[in-house]
Amino acid sequence: MTRSVTGPRPDTTAGPVRPKAPAVRRHDHRPGLRRLGTIAFFLAPALVLFLLLVIVPILVAGYTSLFKWNGFNLPEDFVGLDNFSRALGDPIFQGDLRRGLVLIVLSVVIQLPASLALALLLNQPLRGRAVYRLVFFAPYVLSEVTTAVLFTLVFSPSRGLGSTVLGWFGAAELGGSIFADPGTVLYAVFFVISWKYFGFHMILYLAGRQGIPRELTEAATTDGASGWQVFRHVTLPLLGPTIRISLFLSIIGTIQLFDMVWVLTGGGPTHASETLAVTMFQYGFRRFEVGYASAISIVMFLLSLVFALLYQRFVLRRDLEGALTTRGVQR
Amino acid sequence: MTGTRGHLRKTVLHVVSIVIGALIVVPIGFGVLGGFKDNGQLSTNPLGLPDPWVPGNYTGILGSEVFWRQLANSTLIALATVVVVVGASAMAAFVFARFAFRGREALFTLFAAGLMFPFAVAILPLFILLRSLGLLDNPLGVILPQAAFGLPVTIIILRSFFRGIPGEVEEAATLDGCGAFAFFWRILLPMARPALATVSVLAVVASWNNFMLPLVVFTDQNWWTLPVGVQAFQGQYADDTARVLAYVVLSMVPALAFYAVAERRLVAGLAGSVKG
């Protein structure tokens, strides 16, 4: 079975741990349904689209990252891994990594716990709960671009809501320059990201919370557990899978962050809010250093991939029975 | 949890919810009201109600062809993306859910792994590919890549739904003379209507909000979608805050209206995609 190695996780990790799946889904042995032609017919559209527009471009990015290339004609000037070593020595690139890490840490420490707390609050019987949910979740459907434009105006120096409100706290000048000050811009970006996405995470947690049988928390309460103890020893562990997925999505999203930053700040001032994707875009579509830009996008890819694989290997493996990950070929 | 303690607790919950709700509503409300002011009013009175109300920003935009064209472009691209991604995914998910063949899990894994491929990684070669195919300034140049990147999550959700349809249904259909095609088209798809609605809603939201791809594919303004248009409008009228606010608000309206209608499906989709 040569096919099995195409999965993202090495087979060595898949083999020994899991027992073979019982052959339950075998009712489709009738010859009429097993014909290869039928299978090929139904798979073809998705497979062609996916290979041509997802897999091939990523492979091409890997190839062009080895060239000094302006994106026109064919890449000829082979430079090996020079683009990568150039990136490693580039303060902007190093800054991208550092800023990405800051945003991830802020999300994990502030945004996700806040979403969780809010989800648990809204799980309680409360009048108007449906309206609250609707409101909290609404920003998720707004595009990052409209959100970003709205907030540049909210914090516009002379006409903004932000500077006025901050003025009440004696910090009016902060409101006007929050996106222009290298010291605050990254936190301002984080604020807007949280504004847009905390409702999304809240919905995930709510769905997870509602999947916990009421009997469990009731039983714990009857046994004399305090509210905190119920949370700590019943709710939290049972929310584990949801929390781990939400964390995963948040981190992968941060690695790829583009729209919001591009519109809010363009990466400035002086690169203080620039992300990997913004740097890549600058070099690829503004300066036509496509080879170098490809190298940066490959770094982004590797970061996502390595993170995803490690995360699945060490964190998610209990949760996902083959949903995102490979079990090799089971049959 | 009765009496005053329960009462106090409820009050605290309401206060917290209202404060956070205000954090969300106030910026949007600032936009809506700001659109009804002129820039002089915005400078002197950024928070209060407009005095007098100036509807000119809104009516000007609603009377311009540009806004409606961008709305139509976004709609066309979203609908076409949904047709392509849901169609192709349903067919593939059918195979992954109900056929047994060698290499099935490996292939499925390949698709599922697409979930973690950042779109930004592919944008450069995608741009070059679309350029050589002559698909720049062509809606297909946005629709097809968007659909391709939407395949993983759609296939995952649909497969788990298709698996839930009992084998007996299929056996009965086969006994009645249904082939694979007839079963897929006449029985599976109608039964899967709720799941199809859910993944369609997810695909609409993703397409509607996409920015990077239309940004690089469309140099011809006539093809701009709303996110590209909003950003360009901000660049063009940078000093006219009130007018840009009106444009932002109007571009939010379709998304929020769609959300109001499809909220249930959207939430179901997100919850479902987490369960895999």
Q: Which whole number is the average pLDDT over A3-23?
A: 40
* Contact B46/A at CB under 8 A: yes
Asked if ipTM goes beyond 0.85, one says yes
The two structure tokens encoding residue A253: 């999203």
Per residue in B41-89, pLDDT tens?
888 887 888 888 989 999 999 999 999 999 999 999 999 999 999 999 9
CB atoms within 10 A of CB A231: 17
Cβ of B118 and A252 within 8 Å? yes
Q: How far apart are CA A238 and CA A240, in angstroms?
A: 5
Higher-confidence position of B5 and A289: A289
Q: For helices B226-236 and B241-275, what crossing angle results, to 10°?
A: 150
Per residue in A220-277, pLDDT tens?
888 888 878 888 888 888 888 889 889 998 999 999 999 999 999 998 798 999 999 9
Q: Which of A138, A276, A284 sits opposite B124 (nearest CB)?
A: A284
Question: Where are the strands (E) in chain A, listed by range?
Answer: 67-68, 77-78
Which pLDDT belongs to residue A1?
Answer: 31
Strand pairing class (A77-78; A67-68) = antiparallel
Contacts A36 to B, Cβ<8 Å: 101
Contacts B110 to A, Cβ<8 Å: 6-7, 50, 55
> pTM for the complete prediction?
0.86
Contacts B188 to A, Cβ<8 Å: none
Q: Which whole number is the average pLDDT over B10-15?
A: 85
Which pLDDT belongs to residue B117?
Answer: 83
Per residue in A73-85, pLDDT tens?
888 889 889 999 9
What are the Cα distances from residue A258, in Å, to A8, A282, B131, B210?
A: 25, 11, 22, 11
Lowest mean pLDDT among A2-11, B8-17, B219-228: A2-11
Q: Which domains does chain A have, with CATH numbers?
A: 59-89+286-317 (no CATH), 104-274 (1.10.3720.10)
Q: Which whole number is the average pLDDT over B4-9?
A: 76
Which pLDDT belongs to residue B224?
Answer: 96
Upstream peptide bond of A57 is cis (omega within 30 degrees of 0):
no
- Under the banding of pLDDT at 50, 70 and 90, the label for residue A327 is very low
Cβ of A329 and B270 within 8 Å? no
Q: Closest Cα of chain B to A183: distance in Å? A: 23
Nearest residue in chain A measured CA to CA from B169 = A27
**Mean pLDDT estimate for chain A:** 82
Per residue in B106-137, pLDDT tens?
999 999 888 888 888 899 999 999 999 999 99
Residue extents of the structural domains in chain B? 65-275
* Overall fold of domain B65-275: MetI-like fold (1.10.3720)
- Under the banding of pLDDT at 50, 70 and 90, the label for residue A6 is very low
